[in-house]
Amino acid sequence: MVDEVAARVEANPKYHKLVGMRSSYSIIMTICVMVVYYGYILLIAFNKEWLGTKLADGWTTSVGIPLGVGVIVITIILTNLYVRRANTEFDSLNAEIIKEANKK
C-alpha cells in the first residue's frame, strides 16, 4: 500500500514541480545568505581599517557594528521569506499531491 502511494506521488507532475521549485528557491536563498556572511567575513579579513572607522566624530561605534547587525537582520528577513513561501505555496502544493495520491 505504501509503495503504491509513493509510486503515485512520484508519477504526479505536481510533485516534480514542487521538487523543482523548492530546490531552485533553496539554492537562491543559500546563495544570498552565503554572499552576506562571506562578504562580511571577507571585509573583516581584508579591510579591517574601514570596518574600524568611526561612524561620526565623538562616537565609539565603528562601521563594523551596524554591518554585523545588518548580517543578522538580513538572515532573519531571508528566513522569514523562506518560511512564508514554504507555509503557503509549498505546503498547499504538497497537500494537493498527498490528496491526489491517497484518492486512487
Mean pLDDT of 26-39: 96
**Is the model's pLDDT at 32 over the cut of 70?**
yes
Q: What is the pLDDT of residue 58?
A: 86
Q: How many CB atoms lie within 10 A of CB 2?
A: 6
Q: What is the pLDDT of residue 71?
A: 97
**Is the model's pLDDT at 104 over the cut of 70?**
no
**Is the model's pLDDT at 2 over the cut of 80?**
no
Comparing CA positions, the residue from 24, 14, 30 lying closest to residue 79 is 30
pLDDT tens digit sequence for 42-97: 999 999 999 999 988 888 899 999 999 999 999 999 999 999 999 999 999 999 99
The pair phi, psi for residue 55, each rounded to 5°, is: -65, -35
Q: Is the CB of residue 1 less than 8 Å from the CB of residue 90?
A: no
